[in-house]
Structures are given as structure tokens and as C-alpha cells.
Amino acid sequence: MRTYEELSKAELLDLKSDLEARFNAVKAKGLKLDMSRGKPSTEQLNLSMEMMDVLNSSTDLICREGIDCRNYGVLDGIGEAKQLLADMMEVPKDNIIIFGNSSLNIMFDTIARSMTHGVLGSTPWCRLDKVKFLCPVPGYDRHFAITEYFGIEMVNVPMTPTGPDMDIVEELVNSDPSVKGIWCVPKYSNPQGITYSDETVHRFARLRPAAEDFRIYWDNAYGVHHLYDDKQDYLIEILMECKKEGRPDMVYKFSSTSKISFPGSGIGAIAASDANLAEIRKQLKIQTIGHDKLNQLRHARYFKDIHGMVQHMRRHADILRPKFDAVLSTLDRELGGLGIGSWIAPRGGYFISFDAMEGCAKKIVARAKEAGLIMTDAGATFPYGNDPKDSNIRIAPSYPTIEELKIATEIFVLSVKLVTIEKLLEK
């Protein structure tokens, strides 16, 4: 098999004519397909429906501490919910606070608090001339949206197969006091599905920041989101590593049950050092009298313990795995060996990251839209929506049905081929 770059102009034109005919045939169907966001499918949401039956009008709503969950109180979460999320996040129960339904909301609050009140007595960021955040790319668009909202300067750090380029991270963090944080999705990263290596985690823990208020924002959103029983990534626990290195306050760890139970009605949590949690509680006492304890109780009684959650996630994997396999097999079959794109087959998480030929991503997404396929905007996986190479595209296989995915992936590969040929013909 020859790559596209090895084909003559005449061969490219012949191929383009054939591909356009196929593309127009699909376009004529008037399809409406969506692979834009990593939403659980209806089938996945149905897995948790029995949770709705856990509490009813005759249920004992007293948690283990003897608190009536219908009433005010319990600022940082009921004990059984804290134990469940602590086990999920692999941290001690005493190092966790349960919030509402969204870990993204916790991250926003954490940045906002740092802006207005500083971090453990440091100068509030809003009073500083310059505040920077490191952003591994490609990365999670909603992380970048938070820092952009607060006017924080974002600095790209390339991802490698083992995590962020730690040479760059160490150089910037250890020398520049305006660098206050770094966004991380350390396990089955969004969008590449990369899990940080042991050495990468050790190097994070060994950072010696120039800024005393530097924090690692460790968003372990996909900690239990494996696709395979026999192929699962392992991630070293960051809080313990930082504590071993004498930097217990250097990390905030976030997670939630958003893609475990119900995305709109899960429970989110932050894990951190005693000092960091004490500061967070000061804000919570002003902000709320307590989050939704009935929802916390519902989750704790439904899953019972981490073993129940693991079994539940196997059922999610049984739904997701065929979808990922369908997309990956089509990419391998249609684009493998052509030299016009590369991708990673993840072992977990919610996305497949595709890198097209430089300068093609926006046109590929636009071409797919012509045939009725909505994808994440090209550039969304970079700060400010600006992919310098215009190359990365995030594929989200979770929401469509298998049948829809097969058609959607066909549209995608046709778009990749056509846009790449047009790029080559321009040369």
C-alpha cells in the first residue's frame, strides 16, 4: 500500500473523484449524527435507574453519623459517601470533601478562591500582574475555558506517550513564580486516552515550584473508566507521592460520579492535604449549609462500596467497548498505512484523539458537517481554541448507537481523505 503522498497528481484526482461520489451519496441521505461530546448514551444512563428506587417516602434517611439527611448540616459530606468516593479516588477518607453534582464546579470554585483570596495566605491572584497556567495539549476544553474566563495566561505543554513533557513542566514551574498551576487529566486523558507513567507522577511530586501557591490540578475524571478487563492502565496516587516528597499541599485532586451514575445528578469531590481542606471549608461555611445529602445517601446505598462501583463500571465498559472497537477498526481499515492521520487506541476514558495532516483539521470537521456529522470543533483541545498545527480532532464514540457510529465514522474517514487530497493537490 502506498501513502497518499506517494501518489501522482493524476492518481490523486482519480481517487478524489471516486471519494466525492461516495461522499455525496452519504450526504444525500440527510443524516443528523453527533459525535461532539463525551456524553453517556441512554443505554448507559439506564444502568443506574435502580438508584431511583433506593430512597422513597418510607426509607430511613438517617446516615451513619445519625444525621437526618433531609435537614441542614454536614458541610463536607456524609461519612458513607466520603468513604465511597475516597476509595474511588484512592485517598484516605479524612482527605476528601464531597460537593454537589459536578467536579468542574469544584475546579471553578478553586480557581475563583485563588483569584480573590489567594492560596494558604499567599497574595490573591487578582492582585498580581501576571498569572500563568500550564496546559498539556491536546487537552480538556472545559479546563481551558475556566482559566480563560479568569484572564489567566495559558501556556501549552506538549503531551507525550507518558504524559506532559516533564522537561518543560519542570523548567517552567521551578523557575517562573507566575506559574500557579497545571491542568492534568492523568488517567485515560481527554482526548488521547494516555495514562501518566510512574516516572511522570514521580517527577510531578518532585517539583520545586518557584511559586509557593503553585498547585497541580489533578482531574482524575476517568479513574475507574476502563474499557477492558484484561488491559487496564495503572496510575500512581499523587497525594501520597507529594506527601512523601515533603510537598503535601501541592496538589488538588478532583473526581466525580458524573459518568458513573447520572452526569446531571452525580456527586463530585476534592481530595487534598489537611491544610488545603481547612482553607476550602472556610469558604464552604459561607457558600453553603451543606450539599445534597439525600443524593449522597442514594449513591452510597446503591453502590454500597467500591466493589459495587467496579462491577457497575464493567457494565458501562460492555456498552462502550464495542463502540470504541467499531471506530478504531474503521480507522485501521480505511486510513491505516495511508500516511494521512494517526490515532491512539485507548484502554479507557471517553475519547479517541485523531491527528490529521497539518492544516487539515478545521476543514475535515467542516466537511463532515456537510454530510450531517457534528464533531467537536477543531482547535477545542487547545487553549483559546487555537491548535497551532490545525491537526487534532477529538472523536467521542459514547453517545451514538453502533449503527450510527459506523455511518459517522464512514463520513469522517471520507472527509479525512478528501481534505487531505485537496491539501496535497495544492502543493
Say yes or no to pLDDT of 1 above 80: no
How confident is the model over 79-130, as pLDDT tens digits?
999 999 999 999 999 999 999 999 999 999 999 999 999 999 999 999 999 9
Nearest Cα neighbor of 183 from 139, 224, 238 is: 139
In a domain, 325, yes or no: yes
Strand pairing partners for 270? Answer: 97, 254
How confident is the model over 202-237, as pLDDT tens digits?
999 999 999 999 999 999 999 999 999 999 999 999
Q: Which of 304, 336, 361 is the last residue of a domain?
A: 304
Alpha-carbon distances of 345 from 146, 191, 225, 241, 329, rounded to whole Å: 29, 11, 15, 29, 10
Residue 375 has a pLDDT of: 96
Strands 352-356 and 132-137: unpaired
Q: Which of 258, 285, 304 is the last residue of a domain?
A: 304
Based on the fold, state whether residues 386 and 317 are members of the same structural domain.
Answer: yes
Based on the fold, state whether residues 283 and 221 are members of the same structural domain.
Answer: yes
Strand pairing partners for 393? Answer: 354
Q: Which of 304, 321, 345 is the last residue of a domain?
A: 304
Nearest Cα neighbor of 186 from 154, 159, 167 is: 159
Phi then psi for 395, rounded to 5 degrees? -105, 130
The average pLDDT across 34-54 equals 95
Q: How far apart are CA 161 and CA 353, in angstroms?
A: 12
In a domain, 55, yes or no: no
Based on the fold, state whether residues 328 and 365 are members of the same structural domain.
Answer: yes
Q: Is the dihedral of CA 157, 168, 354, 266 positive or negative?
A: negative
Say yes or no to pLDDT of 45 above 80: yes
| CB atoms closer than 10 angstroms to residue 407 | 18
In a domain, 363, yes or no: yes
In a domain, 190, yes or no: yes
Residue 189 has a pLDDT of: 98
Q: Is the dihedral of CA 302, 108, 344, 236 positive or negative?
A: negative
Question: Contact, 172 vs 209, CB < 8 A?
Answer: no
Residue 427 has a pLDDT of: 82
In this prediction, residue 37 has a pLDDT band, given cuts at 50, 70 and 90, of confident
> Taking the model in full, what pTM does it have?
0.97
The average pLDDT across 313-340 equals 97
DSSP 3-state of 413: helix
Q: How far apart are CA 55 and CA 69, in angstroms?
A: 11
Strands 215-219 and 179-184: parallel
In a domain, 52, yes or no: no
Q: How far apart are CA 70 and CA 72, in angstroms?
A: 7
Residue 60 has a pLDDT of: 97
Quote the Cα angle for 208-90-302, to 5°. 150
Based on the fold, state whether residues 288 and 394 are members of the same structural domain.
Answer: no
Residue 191 has a pLDDT of: 97
Based on the fold, state whether residues 8 and 119 are members of the same structural domain.
Answer: no
Amino acid at 221: A
Provide the CATH number for the domain around residue 141.
3.40.640.10
In a domain, 10, yes or no: yes
In a domain, 59, yes or no: no
Residue span of the structural domain in which 251 resides: 64-304
Question: Contact, 254 vs 242, CB < 8 A?
Answer: no
Based on the fold, state whether residues 381 and 409 are members of the same structural domain.
Answer: yes
Q: How many structural domains is the chain composed of?
A: 2
In a domain, 54, yes or no: no
Based on the fold, state whether residues 22 and 86 are members of the same structural domain.
Answer: no
Based on the fold, state whether residues 237 and 315 are members of the same structural domain.
Answer: no
Strand pairing partners for 269? Answer: 98, 255
C-alpha cell at 398: 459514547
Amino acid at 56: N
Mean pLDDT of the chain: 97
How confident is the model over 241-292, as pLDDT tens digits?
999 999 999 999 999 999 999 999 999 999 999 999 999 999 999 999 999 9
Based on the fold, state whether residues 316 and 384 are members of the same structural domain.
Answer: yes
Nearest Cα neighbor of 106 from 284, 285, 254, 261 is: 254
Based on the fold, state whether residues 75 and 19 are members of the same structural domain.
Answer: no
Based on the fold, state whether residues 253 and 391 are members of the same structural domain.
Answer: no
The average pLDDT across 302-318 equals 98
In this prediction, residue 155 has a pLDDT band, given cuts at 50, 70 and 90, of very high
260-278: burial string, b at 16+ Cβ within 10 Å, e else: bbbbebbbbbbbbbeebbe
Based on the fold, state whether residues 116 and 183 are members of the same structural domain.
Answer: yes
Give the helix/strand (H/E) hosting 9.
helix 9-27
Provide the CATH number for the domain around residue 9.
3.90.1150.10
| CB atoms closer than 10 angstroms to residue 305 | 12
